[in-house]
Amino acid sequence: DSGVTQTPKHLITATGQRVTLRCSPRSGDLSVYWYQQSLDQGLQFLIQYYNGEERAKGNILERFSAQQFPDLHSELNLSSLELGDSALYFCASSNRLARDEQFFGPGTRLTVL
């Protein structure tokens, strides 16, 4: 158990809809990262937040957005969903000290029908 929690575990929705994925980092970790894992694209970094502020952006679509709240939990919002958005979405956290590894949550499996 990494100490990172994600909800929900599974999510099934329809095209055009909007969903919110939630992540709670390990106690004491200030940095949260979001990743998308799909069969054709592999594991891709989406976005990072540190202590409530956006710090880095990866291959995140404009239809997707995220935020980190004062209690450090984070939410990833996916809107106008398409079939191709079906994937595993992982959250990871780190202390953001130099050379610290990231700890991954169990993931949310999103299926868009």
The site for another protein (CB under 8 A) is made up of 2, 4, 31, 33, 42-43, 45, 48, 50, 55-56, 90, 92, 94, 96, 98-107, 109
Q: Which is nearer to another protein, 78 or 91 (CB)?
A: 91
From the CB of 89, what's the least distance to another protein, in Å? Answer: 11
From the CB of 75, what's the least distance to another protein, in Å? Answer: 18
Instruction: Give me the residues paired with residue 36 across strands.
Output: 44, 89
d(CA 40, CA 64): 19
Q: Which is nearer to another protein, 65 or 104 (CB)?
A: 104
d(CA 33, CA 54): 10
Please state the φ and ψ torsions of residue 8, each to the nearest 5 degrees.
-75, 175
Q: Which is nearer to another protein, 10 or 62 (CB)?
A: 10
Q: Is 108 helix (H, G, I), strand (E, B) or coil?
A: strand
